[in-house]
Amino acid sequence: MPVCSYLAYPARGAKKELAKELSALRYCEVTPSENEEILLLVTDTPDEKEEKALQDTLKNIKSLQSLGMTFGHMDE
Amino acid sequence: MNINRRSFIKSMALKSAVAAAAALFPGISFGAWKEADFPSGMIQWKKTPCRFCGTGCGLLAGISGDRAVAVKGDPNCSVNKGLCCVKGYHSIQILYGKDRFKDALVRKNGKLVKVPVQEALDLVADKMKENIKDHGKDSVAIYGSGQWSIADGYTASKLFKGCIGTNNVEANARLCMASAVTGFMTSFGLDEPMGCYDDIDHADVFITWGNNMAEMHPVLFSRMLANRKSKKHVKIIDFATRTTRSSQASDKSILFRPQTDLAVANAICYEIIKNKWVNWNFVKKHVSFHKGKTNIGYGTQDHFKFKDKAETVDLNKYKAFLQDYTPEKVEKISGVSAKDIKYMASLYGAPDKKVTSFWCMGMNQHTRGTWINNLVYNIHLLVGKISTPGNSPFSLTGQPSACGTVREVGTLTHKLPHGVVMKEKDRKMAAKIWNVPVEKIDPKPTYHTVEMFRALDRGDIRFMWIQVTNPMVTMPNLKRYREGAKKDGRFLVVSEIYPTPTSDVADVVLPSALWIEREGFFGNSERRTQHNEQIVPMPGNTMCNTWQLIEVARRLGFKKQFPWSRETYIEDIWNEYTRFHDSPKHRMAPYKVLKARPGVQWPFVNGMETKWRYNPKYDPAAKGDDFDFYGKPDNRAWIWLRPYEPAAESPDSEYPFWLNTGRVLEHWHTGSMTRRVPILHKAVPASYVEINSDDAANLGITNGSRVKITSRRGSIVMIASIDGRGRPPRGMVFVPFFDEKYLINEVTLDAFCPISKQPDYKKCAVKLERA
Ligand code: SF4
């Protein structure tokens, strides 16, 4: 099911906290970026339900200002 | 899914994010699909321009059997050099939406029912004949698109203007590019940019005018960032009305109040003259000064008419005109500090800096769109920074063939493939090439887009054929035009690929072949023509738009004018069309050359592309030793005295907010294609309203809560987005228009630039309430 990658923009001054919060989530892999202001996030969820739940969780993370998708794959 | 394949996909996902981050840019991935060659040698890669934006990236579509299965950026295409944005990467999936129209539909007893395509085409031709007989030739119209392939637009123009004899031909590029065209015509006498994307690699300074390139032209934005990364002194200035992803990645973000870009541009010119940054050699030799009418109105009434009149003036008059635009005075109008205005002027004025200005909808969708285009040219002309590598005032296009099909083929009411209907010489040329009597081509333009839909509402137009566009989402002041389209006695034909609010009101739906399911040509923002062959089969009973038009033309009795065979008609049309542009100023590449390359820039003369026009070093049509602005009768570029005038509707005590509308990276225009691509839909599943956090707090609105937006024309309830990817200043809200569930154009105003007739989607007054 869905594999996506994102640039994760932290809220002001909250990059460390964001890295911690994202790493603690299931199906999420966080990689530091050469560009020190942002983080790279790869998500890999097993099904639609989990994907939706993950999206809802991401929306509620205060230290996350926005996500910019760079890649997405979904098996039909 | 097999674990290895899954880890491969994950590694690609990560690679694309790494590459995007390295370019500091959201939403782009660098050729990571290259490794997707891995599954077997079975994938065949075929070149095509991207289906979406006017950047015109070259793509390679990976084909396995009859199906397109992968996409990568074409490393041989100079536009994108192997890059691609998130829309491009997922573009092939637009072919395979579950609810694709694969059969013709005809409305019977209020319901659209399946019929054979030939029967639907018979009905279309019969209805056209009937209306022409009962109500005259100007009761039938075609409304097309900047996403029309060149052959579609050319065939439509030939049928309607040449054979039927009506100038009721318009295209949605009127809504996005008309001010760019009138800006070019009034300043230079010829349409389309003098420069090319190579300017991006040469410039030292980029100033973007109301242009969120990070989302709208992501690949070009990433080329800008790459230039800045390689040369430390390069600066990007984002001059805009709201803070966006482009602002975040720029060196400086300067916000101005809506409409006041007019005043700021004049203030920059004031400063350039005051500080003696004018390039007098250039100005004396190549520039003349002109004044037009003022207080020119907004076109909100039916039958609105306006014609500008140019008066030549001298430099002193121009200097006197600019006295109203000192940075201090303009600070009060625009909210931009005098210091920032002086800073921008100093960048344009610095003799050792090459400056490129970019703009798109922010300047074009403007009730003074022609004027603001003129004013930015004024800046470049005063300092002589034009038509050389890196010095470029650059108007970007939104759609993949707004230039190729609408501007070059001339699918607007006043235009012909070469010249305008008003000129006898141009009509004679068209009649000769089209094999029709010259009297057939009407010398009077009829309706521009807004007026065309008003005419449909009034009943002056009774039959309209809509191809490749979705006006029942995109027309401003939409309710009036939707109700008009549904009135008794109107007959609407819609050529489409998926159900939309426009096909919902159709009497006939013709199922269209899409993009690489047919052969075609696009023309991008930098005068580049791009060919694609038919790469995958047409599904079901779909038919190419060009062929639909040919079928109907033949039923109307124009077999002689449309004699082509189904095997070669696209090539035959190209060969006929290019006879219109057979001069060094606009010669197009031959079919064979276009077929072989990932795009060729015109003028294409003696086997060479022209990168910078009006400069004899690069342009074979230019004479003399430095510049030759051969588009104007005085061989000069024109500086215009254009004042600041307010917007058609500004916030007041009853409607205290500006409403600004636009696009998002992941969706293409009304979203009829991209909302059917699961991954893009997932990224931005619904539209929303961006509200400034202080305004939201005052109104008790929180992120995700429901907000009612009301204007004098209508209202809509949407979800609030606070401090999301875009942040409007206090007193403004922004709504993306890609989502047909939220028809924001029921709220917008149908005011337009009186010269270009392009509506202003960026400014009207609304109020907000918690819903
Ligand atoms: S930037 Fe435009 S042309 Fe290039 S891939 Fe993206 S949508 Fe397509």
Contact B744, B710 (CB under 8 A): no
For domain B657-748, the question of CATH label 2.40.40.20 is answered with yes
For chain B, percent of residues with pLDDT exceeding 90: 86
Query: What ipTM, to 2 d.p.?
Result: 0.86
pLDDT in tens, B359-399: 999 999 999 999 999 999 999 999 999 999 999 999 999 99
pLDDT at B27: 36
| Contact between A6 and B17 using a beta-carbon 8 Å cutoff | yes
Structure-block tokens of residue B187: 């300043």
Fold of B2-96: N-terminal domain of TfIIb (2.20.25)
3-state SS of B131-165 is: HHHHHCHHHEEEEECCCCCHHHHHHHHHHHHHHHC
CA distance B600 to B621: 17
In-domain check, residue A73? no
pLDDT at A34: 67
Ligand 1 contact, B219 CB (< 6 A): yes
Q: What is the mean pLDDT of residues B425-448?
A: 98
Q: What is the mean pLDDT of residues B186-192?
A: 97
Give me the helices (H) in B56-196, please.
86-89, 117-135, 150-157, 178-188
In-domain check, residue A29? yes
Domain residue limits at A58: 15-33+45-64
pLDDT at B692: 98
The class (CATH top level) of B104-176+401-563 is alpha beta
For chain B, percent of residues with pLDDT exceeding 70: 96
| Contact between A72 and B682 using a beta-carbon 8 Å cutoff | yes
- Rg (C-alpha) for chain B, rounded Å, is 25
In-domain check, residue A2? no
Ligand 1 atom nearest B84 alpha carbon: 5
Ligand 1 contact, B53 CB (< 6 A): yes
pLDDT at A32: 83
Give B-chain residues touching A7 at CB under 8 angstroms: 17, 20-21, 26-27
Ligand 1 atom nearest B79 alpha carbon: 4
pLDDT at B83: 79
Active-site pick, B50, B57, B85, B177: B177
In-domain check, residue A24? yes
CA distance B68 to B723: 38
**Domain coordinates of chain B in residue numbers?**
2-96, 104-176+401-563, 187-396+631-641, 657-748
Ligand 1 contact, B673 CB (< 6 A): no
Q: How confident is the model at residue B26 (pLDDT cuts 50, 70, 90)?
A: very low
pLDDT at A12: 78
Give B-chain residues touching A4 at CB under 8 angstroms: 13, 679, 682
Q: Which of B12, B20, B89 minimises the CB distance to A7?
A: B20
Active-site pick, B147, B365, B399, B467: B399
Give the residue, B219 or B485, on which the prediction is more confident.
B485
pLDDT in tens, B693-735: 999 999 999 999 999 999 999 999 999 999 888 999 999 999 9
In-domain check, residue A69? no
pLDDT in tens, B249-296: 899 999 999 999 999 999 999 999 999 999 999 999 999 999 999 999
Number of domains chain A contains: 1
Fold of B187-396+631-641: Dimethylsulfoxide Reductase; domain 2 (3.40.228)
In-domain check, residue A26? yes
What is the pTM assigned to this prediction?
A: 0.90
Which of B212-216, B563-567, B759-763 has the lowest average pLDDT?
A: B212-216
| Per-residue exposure over B727-741, b if at least 16 CB sit within 10 Å of its own CB, e if not | bbbeebbbbbbbbbe
Structure-block tokens of residue B768: 């907000």
In-domain check, residue A7? no
pLDDT in tens, B401-423: 999 999 999 999 999 999 999 99
Ligand 1 contact, B112 CB (< 6 A): no
pLDDT in tens, B32-59: 333 334 344 467 889 999 999 999 999 9
Phi, psi angles (nearest 5°) of residue A75:
-80, 130
Active-site pick, B72, B81, B87, B158: B87
pLDDT at B653: 98
**List of E strands, chain A:** 3-10, 28-32, 39-44, 64-73
In-domain check, residue A40? no
B187-396+631-641 matches B104-176+401-563 in CATH topology: no
Give B-chain residues touching A61 at CB under 8 angstroms: none
Chain A within 8 Å of B35 (Cβ-Cβ)? no
Q: Has residue B5 got a pLDDT over 70?
A: no
Q: How confident is the model at residue A35 (pLDDT cuts 50, 70, 90)?
A: low
